[in-house]
Amino acid sequence: MYTLVLKKGEEKRADKHPWIFANTVQRIEGKDAQGSVAKVVTSSGRLVGYGFINHASKIIVRLMTRDETPIDRALFLSRVREAKVQREALGYSDNYRAVFSESDGLPGLIVDKYRDHLSVQILTLGMDLRRDMIVEVLREVFSPACIYERSDVASRLKEGLEERKGLLYGTLDPALTITENGLTLAIDLENGQKTGYFLDQKETRAAIVRYASGRRMLDLFCNQGGFSLNAAKGGAREVTAVDVSESALAQVEKNAALNGFSCIRTQKEDVFAYLREQKRAGEKYDLIVLDPPAFTKSADTVKEGYKGYLSVNAAALALLQKGGVMFTCSCSRFMTIPLFLKMVEEASALAKCEVKLLEVRTQAPDHAAKVSLDDALYLKTVVLMRV
């Protein structure tokens, strides 16, 4: 077994956070395989914990335990079961995040449940080497009809792993649907964003219903149209869903038809270009949703990411009717709530308008993160009214 001895003073962070960075390690003793269980101790020899080691990653160890509990199938089974119990206690059953990586004590493993299908992301070497065991545990806890892997994410490259996706168990239903907020949604596990669909926004999508009645809506970076569909359910008179992805817009149209909504139309276009066109045309909207991909994914790119959020928010606010409501979102943990609110203030000044803050929302409770983690509030949505 490898034993990693931390530099003096590094134990303060290591005692709170499950990531052990390579540059915090004074020395490594012993020898074992990459992805094996390693021991981490302070400079004085006190136990910090045990976790999976990977020399290829800047995060050299991801801790699993803080004591001598064996890291084996029984531990995985216990933690997956506990994660399921926690979600069910919150009222989730049909579709929800079943395992959320470090927050459920299983760093590098994400499992989303879509009815009787499970979509799995395996992001780290330690978890990758235990894929077969993970499938066995998921089968025992959930008895799913299908387990589909969506490990086609660039972050695996940092672990020395290739991107991968494919069937792990059972049969994939190409006509899979779930129920969200009373809506029927077709889900594409094979090619949809992330694990198939953005489950973390479901509570905020439900919240748009109260603002939607009779309004003309613009849904920017609409993806599969969750906000559009919920607004239509809430009585929006006209909805325009804009995205650059043809496959995403095809899902919007499919789901609109499934729910009998005729008020939704799709527009394939770059959002920045579309906003410029709409301003030139003098168009105005009563309800706008702005839910872009993360413009900043590291501390080094926050400044440029801030500019991107500022530009698109100012352009969207310029199209918002007086008395209109805008939902503006960021899924980057580096765009903190105070920084995001500062950006909104600057964007409203650029758009020459005043706004009121109606709500600040975060990810749905099935995506709850431990407060000690850096991404505890990775998703935030600010709801504004132009006055």
188-217 residue pLDDT tens? 999 988 898 999 999 999 999 999 999 999
Q: Which residues contact 110 (CB under 8 A, 6 or more apart)?
A: 97, 99, 100, 101, 120, 121, 123, 195
| CATH fold for the domain made of 3-65 | 2.30.130
- Of 149, 163, 147, 157, the residue nearest 56 (C-alpha): 157
Residue 329 bears catalytic tag: no
Q: What is the pLDDT of residues 89-138, one digit of tens each?
A: 999 998 999 999 999 999 999 999 999 999 999 999 999 999 999 999 99
Q: Which pLDDT value is given to residue 300?
A: 82
Strand pairing partners for 386? 355
Band of residue 332 on the pLDDT scale cut at 50, 70, 90: confident
pLDDT at 293 over 90: no
Architecture of the domain whose range is 198-386: 3-Layer(aba) Sandwich (3.40)
Q: Which pLDDT value is given to residue 376?
A: 75
CB neighbour burial string for 52-86, b if at least 16 within 10 angstroms, e if fewer: bbbeebebbbbbbbeeeeebeeebbbebbeebbeb
pLDDT at 374 over 80: no
Q: Would you list the DSSP string of 11-78?
A: HHHHTT-SEEEGGGEEEEES---TTSEEEEE-TT--EEEEEEE-TTSSEEEEEEESSS---SHHHHHH
- What mean pLDDT value characterizes the chain? 95
pLDDT at 183 over 80: yes
Q: Which pLDDT value is given to residue 290?
A: 97
**Can you give the residue ranges of every domain in the chain?**
3-65, 73-170, 198-386
Q: Angle, to 10 degrees, between the axis of helix 246-258 and the axis of helix 226-233?
A: 30
Whether 60 and 22 have beta carbons less than 8 Å apart is answered as: yes
pTM score:
0.93
Q: What is the pLDDT of residues 232-266, one digit of tens each?
A: 999 999 999 999 999 999 999 999 999 999 999 99
Band of residue 6 on the pLDDT scale cut at 50, 70, 90: very high
Q: Which pLDDT value is given to residue 301?
A: 86
**Domain 73-170 top-level CATH class:** alpha beta
Stretch among 198-207, 318-327, 334-343, 373-382 having the lowest mean pLDDT: 373-382
pLDDT at 361 over 90: yes
The residue annotated as part of the active site, out of 146, 222, 329, 331, is: 331
- In a 13 Å sphere around the CA of 342, the CA atoms on its Cβ side amount to 8
Q: Which residue has the tokens 């790119």?
A: 301
* Fold agreement (3-65, 198-386): no
From CA 285, how far away is CA 271, in angstroms rounded?
Answer: 15
Q: Which pLDDT value is given to residue 371?
A: 84
User: Region 303-323: what's the mean pLDDT?
Assistant: 94
- Of 116, 210, 208, 215, the residue nearest 169 (C-alpha): 116
Strand pairing partners for 360? 382
Residue 286 tokens read as 């009563």
DSSP 372: T
The amino acid present at 45, given as its one-letter code, is: G
Q: Which pLDDT value is given to residue 40?
A: 98
Q: Which pLDDT value is given to residue 359?
A: 96
From CA 296, how far away is CA 381, in angstroms rounded?
Answer: 16
- Of 157, 187, 192, 183, the residue nearest 173 (C-alpha): 187
Q: Which pLDDT value is given to residue 385?
A: 98
Q: What is the pLDDT of residues 134-171, one digit of tens each?
A: 999 999 999 999 999 999 999 999 999 999 999 999 99
Q: What is the pLDDT of residues 37-91, one digit of tens each?
A: 999 999 999 999 999 999 999 999 999 999 999 999 999 999 999 999 999 999 9
- Of 275, 277, 294, the residue nearest 220 (C-alpha): 275
Sheet-wide strand order for 238-243: 264-268, 238-243, 216-220, 285-290, 320-330, 380-386, 355-362
